[in-house]
Structure 1
Amino acid sequence: MGDTSLQQQQPCIQPPPGPWKYTLLTEPALSSTLAQKSAASIVDDTHHVSFQPCSDPAEASQDRFSVQNWEISGGVWRFRAVFDGHGGHEAVDYTLQHLPALIERNLRAFLEHKGQGLPGSPSSYAPGDISKLITDSISSFDDGMTAALFDLFPGNAVRDLSDEVIDDIIHDPANYPTVIRCMRGTTVLISLTNPLNKDLWVASLGDCRAVLATRLKGGQWVGKELSYNHNGSDPSEVRKLIQEHPREPFVIEDDRVLGSIAVTRAIGDHVFKVPRIYTERVFLKCRPGFKTTIKKVESIVPRILTPPYVSNAAETTHFTLDDSQDNDPIRHKLDMVLFLFSDGLYDLYEMESGSAAVGMQGYWSYVLRNALSRPGENLALNLLRHGLGGNNEDKVSQMLMGESSYRWMDDTTILAQHL
């Protein structure tokens, strides 16, 4: 779920099983309304939607995405990203504004230093170099947020200053954005392809997902997951946290870090990254502050013993798209489409099937066949439509046109890029 931080723990809920108010739409109004409400569009080679049907401004989507092409040394690198914000908009907006630009600057400097000749020439860099560049850029970006917070309270100031002085520092208009974005958080999912389109890098921090759809010679579409969830229900993430924080019984409770936040890797969420005195003396004094009760936050503070608990280390993986020296039948392709999506899409299939595993595995071939077999249509919109109920106009209308001041589904963003 996107809203996984301590600031906003209300789960994503499906509309109640009994009667509730919604407007029943039929075609073509249903399709056109869904396209409008999901801001469906096509930019370059990428189809995208971003959807939150609740009309209450307080429930506005905290998902963001980026589609950028960077011309470097005569070739075009294609950058795509999905950011699933939680607890507020400040961290995800800041990330959207600054992280892609940082990665571009670092990539440009790296390639120019390497003296790249032909665009995307494999002789000028190793795939692992680009993986490291992306991972390091994400970590340094989040570390910069931490450093900016610490700079507001140099030395022992956060311990020694009076409450009144700390309050003045926090609410100085020049300082407030630094504090509030550290209190919010966002996941990160990035894809990057080089100019010759032979290499793909996927970087994940949190629980957005990347799936590569490939059409084989027989016409069948198959899906291969390229990223994995970083959350408190993943055994490897749990083992890592327990090893890093021995003798802390609440490091994972109810599949959540410190019993509070679902994701184990994210930008922001500095309550789980810095000494607890910053939560006690800074974050809890910020106005407006957390999206939950002070009591809820105060209950977590005693558990903050040896931070950080939430990591900013992305998992970045390189994939070869060139099939000339590979016998893997998946890469003997006719077409390839990369899907990047926030976990709201995963939730839709879980609600549809009653099981997340069945939702994404049992439906995947059918979903791809339907989403990708209509030339000229928005692939991301087709995938969203199927998750909402497909051809069932009543069900799609319920999800699209529900009348409630509370969200009944998670923010859902999908990018579909033709490779």
Structure 2
Amino acid sequence: MADSNRLEAARQRLLQAFQSTKSSPPDVHAVTFQPLGWDSNADRMVTERWTIRGQQWLFLAVCDGHGGSCTSQYTIETLPHRLRSALKRVVCKRFGGRIDRSNLDVAGVYVASMFEVEIVEFDRTLKRAVRELCPNPRELSKEQAEQLLLDHEEIFLRAFQGTTLVLALINVDLHFMWAAGVGDSSVALSTTNTAGSRSVELLCKHHTFTDPQEYYRTIMAHHSSEQNVVDHDNRLLGLLRMSRAIGDLPFKMERAYTRHLFQYFPDYNPQSLARLAEKVML
């Protein structure tokens, strides 16, 4: 009986530690584990098969959430539909209903641009939702802020928390693909040559401050009076290791939102958020 109880307890701990998904045929199975038992798994994944004008597409995406799972969950639930609709518009309006080897060079530019536009716009929707609910955070009392967060918890949490994103879009029929990434997660292509040797190619660069281009892009976006935007440990304001992410609006919006609204989230340290607000020069 004791062994049975331990086995069931182990099963329950395992269920809390991983996320899994499976696409429709062709089958693609995906699983992610959170190895740290003291923290919940904020990773989210999606594997979908799309049919657009008779062509079969496979869409794969992984979001590595931080600060919680609201942003990663919302991204996985919402962004794939936006990207599918945008891909359909590109295929139907620009390329007569079909992307193939004859128009791939031109189509590749359109699809890559579509990814960038849609992902950036998706992130902006998180900011707009916050502004619509709270256009003037400085006017809030503590009680009003707490009530606003309680009434619209999901909307504010998915803006406050953050996530990386990596995705791959594969044309199943003709065997070509696109990849995109935001943050420091990786998407890679593993291939085997005729001799049986395997090689791996990283398809998207990491958005971190160890990349000189990302470092200088971030520094040059700020006024010279703003000191220590990136610290000696390559962290944004001493906190965030990645230079780009979805969400994380305390780093992107005026400090008034953190000082008068976000700091009243019940599950976050108000002193830490107050220190963050002091570092934001807005």
Q: TM-score, normalised by structure 1?
A: 0.58
For 1:260, the equivalent position in structure 2 comes to: 239
Per-residue CA deviations over 1:97-155 (Å, capped at 9, x if unaligned) read 1011111111112322235244546438521100011111111111001000000123x
Amino acid across the alignment from 1:298:
A
User: Following superposition of structure 1 onto structure 2, how do residues 334-353 of structure 1 map, counting pairs within 5 Å?
Assistant: none
For 1:46, the equivalent position in structure 2 comes to: 28
The change in CA–CA distance for 1:40 and 1:204 in structure 2 (over 3 A counts) is closer
What secondary structure, in the 3-state scheme, does the structure 2 residue paired with 1:104 have? helix
For 2:114, the equivalent position in structure 1 comes to: 133
Per-residue CA deviations over 1:206-237 (Å, capped at 9, x if unaligned) read 11112212211222111221122112332221
For 2:189, the equivalent position in structure 1 comes to: 212
For 1:67, the equivalent position in structure 2 comes to: 47
Match of 2:84 among 93, 104, 111: 104
What secondary structure, in the 3-state scheme, does the structure 2 residue paired with 1:261 have? coil
What is the alpha-carbon distance in structure 2 between the residues aligned to residue 113 and residue 129 of structure 1?
Answer: 11
The change in CA–CA distance for 1:270 and 1:285 in structure 2 (over 3 A counts) is same
For 1:191, the equivalent position in structure 2 comes to: 168
What is the alpha-carbon distance in structure 1 between the residues aligned to residue 81 and residue 253 of structure 2?
Answer: 26
What is the alpha-carbon distance in structure 2 between the residues aligned to residue 295 and residue 243 of structure 1?
Answer: 29
Amino acid across the alignment from 1:296:
S
For 1:250, the equivalent position in structure 2 comes to: 228
User: Following superposition of structure 1 onto structure 2, how do residues 5-404 of structure 1 map, counting pairs within 5 Å?
Assistant: 43=23, 44-56=26-38, 59-114=39-94, 116-118=96-98, 120=100, 122-123=102-103, 126-154=107-135, 157-172=136-151, 175-247=152-224, 248-253=226-231, 254-288=233-267, 290=268, 293-306=269-282
Unaligned runs of 5+ in 2: 1-13
What is the alpha-carbon distance in structure 1 between the residues aligned to residue 113 and residue 132 of structure 2?
Answer: 27
C-alpha contact 1:73 1:116 (8 A) present in aligned 2? no
What secondary structure, in the 3-state scheme, does the structure 1 residue paired with 2:57 have? strand
What secondary structure, in the 3-state scheme, does the structure 2 residue paired with 1:191 have? strand
Number of positions where the alignment pairs a residue of Structure 1 with one of Structure 2: 265
Amino acid across the alignment from 2:279:
R
Query: How far apart are 1:201 and its partner, in Å?
Result: 1.0
Query: How far apart are 1:74 and its partner, in Å?
Result: 0.8
C-alpha contact 2:20 2:32 (8 A) present in aligned 1? yes
Q: Name the % identity.
A: 29
What is the alpha-carbon distance in structure 2 between the residues aligned to residue 283 and residue 162 of structure 1?
Answer: 13
Amino acid across the alignment from 1:251:
V
C-alpha contact 2:16 2:40 (8 A) present in aligned 1? no
What is the alpha-carbon distance in structure 2 between the residues aligned to residue 296 and residue 109 of structure 1?
Answer: 44
What is the alpha-carbon distance in structure 1 between the residues aligned to residue 93 and residue 122 of structure 2?
Answer: 21
What is the alpha-carbon distance in structure 2 between the residues aligned to residue 208 and residue 285 of structure 1?
Answer: 30
The change in CA–CA distance for 1:296 and 1:35 in structure 2 (over 3 A counts) is closer
What secondary structure, in the 3-state scheme, does the structure 2 residue paired with 1:190 have? strand
What is the alpha-carbon distance in structure 1 between the residues aligned to residue 181 and residue 140 of structure 2?
Answer: 39
Amino acid across the alignment from 2:69:
H
Q: TM-score, normalised by structure 2?
A: 0.85
Per-residue CA deviations over 1:234-255 (Å, capped at 9, x if unaligned) read 2221111111114222100121
The change in CA–CA distance for 1:239 and 1:42 in structure 2 (over 3 A counts) is same
Amino acid across the alignment from 2:53:
S
Unaligned runs of 5+ in 1: 1-33, 307-419
What is the alpha-carbon distance in structure 2 between the residues aligned to residue 241 and residue 98 of structure 1?
Answer: 28
C-alpha contact 1:120 1:194 (8 A) present in aligned 2? no
Poorly superposed stretches of 4+, deviation over 6 Å: 34-37, 39-42
C-alpha contact 1:120 1:195 (8 A) present in aligned 2? no
What secondary structure, in the 3-state scheme, does the structure 1 residue paired with 2:228 have? coil
Superposition RMSD in Å: 2.6
What is the alpha-carbon distance in structure 2 between the residues aligned to residue 191 and residue 245 of structure 1?
Answer: 32
What secondary structure, in the 3-state scheme, does the structure 1 residue paired with 2:187 have? strand
What is the alpha-carbon distance in structure 1 between the residues aligned to residue 160 and residue 20 of structure 2?
Answer: 31
Amino acid across the alignment from 1:96:
I
The change in CA–CA distance for 1:101 and 1:246 in structure 2 (over 3 A counts) is same
The change in CA–CA distance for 1:245 and 1:36 in structure 2 (over 3 A counts) is closer
Query: How far apart are 1:268 and its partner, in Å?
Result: 0.6
